[in-house]
């Protein structure tokens, strides 16, 4: 089968489309014929081996898993021993532990949700990692009907889902993005769009019940200043450095939380089929729609990762298999 492999960390030039053996499903796993995947920050970080701290888990000198990719959407081809929920022919999607940029992937049945009719493989392939991250961030922030929420980094994969989901949950949404993304974010239903190149959102007199920070572009002190006294700050990332990356920001939220009236939280999203099923249902009924900037064939995965790194894609870049 064809797969996108890499044997060293680095820029998109390290990626190769190569022939590799087709995997076989182990106990509790199913074999999925992949029809679509998508590009996530986690895929870029795995390719780069950045920040360096992640190499302690992924391989110090070279990647342990040589096939990139985490989002999976496709059709069940075969099932391994001990599976009971899925059968060959089922349309599914989910988040794998790498190895998704391939024609086939073997992964746990427990990580897959059934894709309902009316949802395309391309849409389903954009949902797993970014969509579940968004829904878990909103849950952590206590976002619901009447909540006033600010989304910093509203035009990316997670951000575009967050804006739509927050509106679907009945929240008032202020969204922060750059000039070129203002109209896109407004079209997603944001009540207020703040162009950070023209306005300092952290200097406003507005106060929010929740701030979901996917950009990490302002100091924690500044983000706390725009929260209500009992507001929730959810940290996802920050600029960080080449070694520790966002760890200092995330650590600051943990250490600072006991000493302030506000709640400071660090977002560690995890695969969750129940969350994914909610996202699929909302997509099927038209409540949300994955924002897909472009679709490329699997063979052009390097171009997709290169664009993700240099162009800051609007929403998702999908790989069609």
Please state, in angstroms and rounded to a whole number, the distance separating the CA atoms of residues 50 and 129.
18
CB atoms within 10 A of CB 274: 9
Q: What is the pLDDT of residues 130-171, one digit of tens each?
A: 999 999 999 999 999 999 999 999 999 999 999 999 999 999
Q: How many CA atoms lie within 13 A of 99 on its CB side?
A: 19
Of 14-28, 32-46, 248-262, the range with the lowest mean pLDDT is 248-262
* Predicted local distance difference test score (pLDDT) of residue 140: 96
Average pLDDT, the chain: 93
- Check if the beta carbon of residue 260 is closer than 8 Å to that of residue 268: no
Kindly compute the dihedral angle of the four CA atoms of residues 58, 59, 65, 68, in this order, to the nearest 10 degrees.
60
Band (pLDDT 50/70/90 cuts) for residue 212 is very high
Give, for 125, the enclosing helix (H) or strand (E): helix 121-126
Task: Name the token pair of 84.
Answer: 């009971």
List the single range of 64-73, 120-129, 303-312 with lowest mean pLDDT: 303-312
Average pLDDT (199-207) is 92
Residue 244's pLDDT is: 47
2-127+290-320 and 130-266 have identical folds = no
Per-residue pLDDT tens digits for 252-309? 666 666 657 788 988 888 999 999 999 999 999 999 999 999 999 999 999 999 999 9
Q: What was the pLDDT predicted at 51?
A: 81
How many angstroms from the chain centroid is the CA of residue 107? 19
Instruction: Specify the residue for token string 């790194």.
Output: 309
Using a 10 angstrom Cβ sphere, with 0-12 exposed, 13-18 middle and 19 or more buried, the burial of residue 134 is buried
Residue ranges covered by each domain of the chain: 2-127+290-320, 130-266
Averaged pLDDT, 47-74: 91
Could you tell me which of 93, 10, 92, 102 has the C-alpha nearest to residue 55? Answer: 10
Per-residue pLDDT band for 246 (boundaries 50, 70, 90) equals low
3-state helix, strand, coil in the chain (%, to 5): 35, 30, 40
Q: What is the pLDDT of residue 204?
A: 86
User: What pLDDT score does 141 carry?
Assistant: 97
Q: Rounded CA gap, 132 and 179, in Å? A: 27
- pLDDT band at 243; cut points 50, 70, 90: very low
Are 170 and 144 in contact, with CB atoms under 8 Å apart? yes
Strand partners, 312: none
Are 235 and 249 in contact by the 8 Å Cβ rule? The answer is yes
Instruction: State the Cα–Cα distance between residues 31 and 266, nearest whole angstrom.
Output: 34
* 303 and 296 Cβ atoms separated by less than 8 Å: yes
Give the side-chain half-sphere CA count within 13 A for 187: 11
Distance in angstroms (rounded) separating the CA atoms of residues 88 and 130:
27
The structure's pTM equals 0.93
Assigned architecture for domain 130-266: 3-Layer(aba) Sandwich (3.40)
Residue 265: name the closest of 217, 188, 210 by CA.
210
Which CATH superfamily does the domain covering 2-127+290-320 fall into? Medium-chain alcohol dehydrogenases, catalytic domain (3.90.180.10)
| Statement: residue 114 has pLDDT above 60 | yes
Query: What mean pLDDT do residues 208-223 have?
Result: 91
- pLDDT for residue 216 is more than 90: no
């Amino acid at each position: 089968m064809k797969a996108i492999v890499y044997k060293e960390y680095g820029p998109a030039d390290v990626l190769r489309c190569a022939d590799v053996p087709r995997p076989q499903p182990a106990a509790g796993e199913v074999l999925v014929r992949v029809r679509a995947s998508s590009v996530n920050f986690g895929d870029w970080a795995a390719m780069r081996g950045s920040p360096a701290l992640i190499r302690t888990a992924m391989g110090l000198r070279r990647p342990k898993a040589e096939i990139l990719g985490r989002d999976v959407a496709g059709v069940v081809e075969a099932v391994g021993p001990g599976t009971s929920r899925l059968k060959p022919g089922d349309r599914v999607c989910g988040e794998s532990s790498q190895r998704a940029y391939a024609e086939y992937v073997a992964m746990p049945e427990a990580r897959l949700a059934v894709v309902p009719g009316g949802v395309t493989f391309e849409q389903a392939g954009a949902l797993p990692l970014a969509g579940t991250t968004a829904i878990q961030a909103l849950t952590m922030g206590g976002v619901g009907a009447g909540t006033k929420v600010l989304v910093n980094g509203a035009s990316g994969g997670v951000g575009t889902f967050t804006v739509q989901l927050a509106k679907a949950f009945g929240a008032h949404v202020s969204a922060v993005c750059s000039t070129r993304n203002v109209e896109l974010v407004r079209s997603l239903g944001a009540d207020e769009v703040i162009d950070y190149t023209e306005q300092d959102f952290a200097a406003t007199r507005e106060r929010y019940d929740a701030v979901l920070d996917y950009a990490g572009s302002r100091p924690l002190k500044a983000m706390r200043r725009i929260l209500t006294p009992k507001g929730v700050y959810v940290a996802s990332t920050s600029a960080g450095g080449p070694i520790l990356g966002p760890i200092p920001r995330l650590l600051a939220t943990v250490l600072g939380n006991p000493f302030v009236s506000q709640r400071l939280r660090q977002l560690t999203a995890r695969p969750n089929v129940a969350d994914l099923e909610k996202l699929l249902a909302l997509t099927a009924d038209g409540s949300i729609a994955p924002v897909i900037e472009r679709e490329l064939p699997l063979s052009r995965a390097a171009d997709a990762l290169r664009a993700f790194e240099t162009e800051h894609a609007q929403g998702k870049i999908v790989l069609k298999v």
